[in-house]
Amino acid sequence: MRTGTAPEVPAPRAARWPAAVRWLAAVPWPTVVRPLLRTVMRRRPAPVGPSRPDQVRALVAVLDEAVAAQRPADEAVAACGEPGPVSRGAARDCGQQSIALHRLRARLQDLGTTDPDLVAAQARAARLLAYDLWMLRASMNLAFTARPVDRTETARLRLNGLGRPADDLRRLRDTLRAELSET
């Protein structure tokens, strides 16, 4: 017995597709897709980095500041090696110089040098600054130990500054500065 309703007839397959699919099916592919692919696949030129003289200038600028910061750091290390009790001012000076050298080392490592020779010079300068930082820390540890012993006191009294690595950093800066003046 029929109730008067027709059986449900499925809609044609194309009518069930979303509008975007119907549009893609109707698009003339060669005339639309090829220009889009050309636009997407177009190679962009590689970004051009700073020139070698610009990189040398940036490196020399940071090294100038590092060499200038070495003098107070050298004095702070030498103050920790003075005979007698070490003043609190020496500890403050070591701390301030340590902060300054940490900041300079971070700036040095953030330079975008790409030239292999300059990358090597940058790494060497970073190692020399790391030595300066170590020297500041070691001198503070020797000067402000909780339990001074004869061996520690003897080592402390031999402190007289940053030493040869400070000279090496100056020579590295001077070499790079000479290269800059030649160009």
For residue 67, being part of any structural domain is answered with yes
For residue 10, being part of any structural domain is answered with no
3-state DSSP of the chain: CCCCCCCCCCCCHHHHCCHHHHHHHHCCHHHHHHHHHHHHHCCCCCCCCCCHHHHHHHHHHHHHHHHHHHHHHHHHHHHHCCCCCCCHHHHHHHHHHHHHHHHHHHHHHHCCCCCHHHHHHHHHHHHHHHHHHHHHHHHHHHHCCCCCCHHHHHHHHCCCCCCHHHHHHHHHHHHHHHHHHHC
For residue 155, being part of any structural domain is answered with yes
Q: Give the model's pLDDT for residue 159.
A: 83
Total domain count, the chain = 1
For residue 26, being part of any structural domain is answered with no
Which parts of the chain have pLDDT scores under 70?
Answer: 1-17, 20-25, 27, 29-34, 36-47, 183
For residue 39, being part of any structural domain is answered with no
Residue 72 φ/ψ, nearest 5 degrees: -65, -35
For residue 47, being part of any structural domain is answered with no
CB 153 within 8 A of CB 91: no
CA distance 51 to 114: 9
Q: Give the model's pLDDT for residue 101.
A: 95
For residue 71, being part of any structural domain is answered with yes
pTM: 0.70
Q: Give the model's pLDDT for residue 155.
A: 85
CA distance 143 to 93: 13
For residue 147, being part of any structural domain is answered with yes
Instruction: Tell me the residue range of the domain where 93 lies.
Output: 52-182
Q: Give the model's pLDDT for residue 128.
A: 95
